[in-house]
Structure 1
Amino acid sequence: MAAENIIIDSHIHIFPSSEASTLPWLTAELPVARQSSVDEFKTATSSSSKTLQGFIAIEAGRENGSSKDWTAPLQEISFFRRVITGEPRDGEGHSAADKDLCLGIVPWAPVNLGPAQLEKYLAKAEEEAGPETWSKVKGFRYLLQDQPNGTALEGEFIEGLKLLGRKGFVFDVGVDHHRRGRTQLDELVEMIDRAHDGVEKEEDKVVFVLNHLCKPDITIVNYTTDPSFIAWRTAMFTLSKCKRTYMKLSGLFAEMTDKVRTWSADDIFASIIPWLAVVIAAFGPSRIMFATDWPVCTIGVDDANADDKDADNAWVKWRKVVEKVCDMAGLNEEDQKMVWAGTAREAYHL
């Protein structure tokens, strides 16, 4: 990676310990069952402090009562507001000086409820955010990976996506091919087609940002013949045909075995080349963006290497993997700039 390349981490999660109880997935046994603050993120990224321009904060799965209780999601927007306006509460782990690090936010939204209820939520979210923070709302996410099959294809959901497109918002897509199987990929392809169907103006078609390579099963050994790999590869090339679809190069630590997570960046890169090569070939550098999924990426990495002072932390290790991706693909200087920051700027209108 050229020294002058600016880095934008396009996918991190931040939350104060005072609001951890609103995160139902944050169980006590998880290593990340603690505050995930800007201060901690700055510590994890200190080796890249001169080139790290900032991050995009993605909603962290606040409790929403099956989309009917908006209290915690709006509370998350209020927290983002304190970060962006530089008005922290005591103990939240950020300061006024950190406000410019947050380049954009992608809160939760009840897309599944359809456009009428979504409009009401957006109005409440805008009021909670205030003008300065609302200007940094670049899109929304409704995590599909744990939802029943068919959720993304329901009429209300599709119309909700079309509403986001008309308003100029991105939709971040979280699906899980590894655990949920091919159905999630097939539905994702159809969801994108239906969300764009009948939308005359290109600028009104919602932009999709796919999270974490759609979580493929990277424990496969015979990937050349494995049906799961073939299905995932086919989906990647199909999804890439839509020019308003982008991919985050992130999230693969969570798909690795415990042992592989502790390997060096070189060895991890070698083990996941087949998946990385497919994504590069399908989307190209102009539609791939660097992201880490911090602090989720630290699980099984930072805690496993806690006694080794010379070991790379998860954020650094993944940055090195992506450096090797750029080298493998033979990307020129301009293409590398797109991967590290340019694609994020374009997709999210930063």
Structure 2
Amino acid sequence: MASSKPYPIIDSHIHLYPSSELSTLAWCTPASPLSKQHSIAEYATATGRPSNLEGFIFLETDRKSHLDGPEGWDLPLVEVDWLRRIATDQPKEGEGHEVGNGKLCLGIVPWAPVPAGEEAMEKYVKAVEERAGAAWGKVKGFRYLVQDKAKGTMLEGKFIQSLRWMGRRGFVFDLGVDQHSGGKWQLEEACEMVNRAHEGVKEGERVTIVINHLCKPDLSVYNETDPSFIAWRNAMFRLGKNSKTYMKLSGCFSEMPDSVKNGSILEIFIALQPYLAVILGAFGSFRVMFGSDWPVCTVGVEGADGAWKKWKAVVEKFCYLASLSDEDQIMIWSGTAIKAYAIEELM
């Protein structure tokens, strides 16, 4: 049986969007199972409102955009408007949140035109600050998804320049790569990107990099001698050597066969065990954080409304079977997120 101690929980990775803005999402089609409002009300239902859920960190939802500003930045800035309304308790009718929900929003990670370089970042982040208003203090970092971009994107001079700029400004970079769909070259580039971003930079100015979803390995692979597993494992240990990198224990349902993610908690844990062991060995509990990837975690899960609770139970099973101490578990459930994203409210 997994431990049921009520450790404080910070969900380090969720997405929110109102139904009125579905057309602004680059991936959203009417056929998508996620093509409906996902706001605080829906999130509260999914989680069951546990008393130990302190809050969440919002990650950008891939709004339609392009690097050339300011026209190409319009819709990501509309998303900042949406998060400002949530964080400052200023709801619009029909958007699924209400006064009092703002305290749950502990951090905001918007999109940013990272490949465009330092000058563009300066201009864009100034626009984010203006649009965020009173919620600006909750903006902890930025994300530009590279998982669907061309080879070399992460290693371009302007991309590295932007990462260094974020480090000097104290912003986190959320890194999203995808070994499963994109190939192992994404792992190799991610490792090199971190090296270039930090090389020759003073410790206090090195950008903190929070890695999403274990880098999305193919979780249908259970053989630890499989070349794809070996490539992933090697990359995790390379990434974990850097003290400024953190890993989100999230996004795994999306990379599992339906037969696995719809199995029991123990069956899911057994399938994940080799991967979880690597993550714990490479990063340690003080650089691993719980995240749900809600609502993406619901896709393909039978009884989708229970997907958040199911993933939480898998992580509880992991913590129990790994015999993690109270201190280690506190870090995984909330402490690592507080540290990586500098969430002052709970420190």
1:6-32 residue CA offsets vs partner (Å, 9 max, x unmatched): 000000000001011000211221211
Q: Percent identity?
A: 53
Letter in 1 for 2:296: V
Matched, 1:211 2:212: yes
Matched, 1:9 2:2: no
Distance 2:116 2:219 in 1: 34
Q: Indicate the residue corresponding to 2:296 in structure 1.
A: 296
Matched, 1:246 2:246: yes
Moved more, 207-216 or 266-275: 266-275
Q: Indicate the residue corresponding to 2:329 in structure 1.
A: 336
Distance 2:79 2:159 in 1: 23
Contact 1:168-1:206 at 8 Å conserved across structures: yes
Q: Indicate the residue corresponding to 1:79 in structure 2.
A: 82
Shift of 1:327: 1.3
| Structure 1: runs of 5+ lacking an equivalent | 307-311
- TM-score norm. by structure 1 comes to 0.95
Q: Indicate the residue corresponding to 1:178 in structure 2.
A: 180
Contact 2:142-2:172 at 8 Å conserved across structures: yes
Given the alignment, which residue of 18, 40, 57 partners 1:38?
40
1:28-70 residue CA offsets vs partner (Å, 9 max, x unmatched): 2121110010110011111x52110000000000000355400
- How large is the RMSD of aligned CA atoms in angstroms? 1.1
Q: Indicate the residue corresponding to 1:309 in structure 2.
A: none
Secondary structure of the structure 2 residue equivalent to 1:9: strand
Secondary structure of the structure 2 residue equivalent to 1:247: strand
How does 1:102-121 map onto structure 2 within 5 Å? 102-121=105-124
Shift of 1:71: 0.5
Secondary structure of the structure 2 residue equivalent to 1:135: helix
Distance 1:43 1:224 in 2: 38
Distance 1:78 1:96 in 2: 16
Q: Is the alpha carbon distance of 1:108 and 1:189 closer, same or farther for their aligned partners in structure 2, counting shifts above 3 Å?
A: same
Letter in 1 for 2:90: E
Shift of 1:4: 3.3
Distance 1:67 1:332 in 2: 48
Secondary structure of the structure 2 residue equivalent to 1:56: strand
How does 1:1-350 map onto structure 2 within 5 Å? 1-46=3-48, 49-66=50-67, 68=69, 69-130=72-133, 132-200=134-202, 202-221=203-222, 223-301=223-301, 304-305=302-303, 313-350=306-343
Shift of 1:305: 2.7
Contact 2:180-2:217 at 8 Å conserved across structures: yes
Distance 1:347 1:203 in 2: 13
Aligned length, in residue pairs: 339
Distance 1:245 1:196 in 2: 11
Distance 1:67 1:45 in 2: 38
- TM-score norm. by structure 2 comes to 0.96
Letter in 1 for 2:103: D
Shift of 1:274: 0.8
Secondary structure of the structure 2 residue equivalent to 1:94: coil
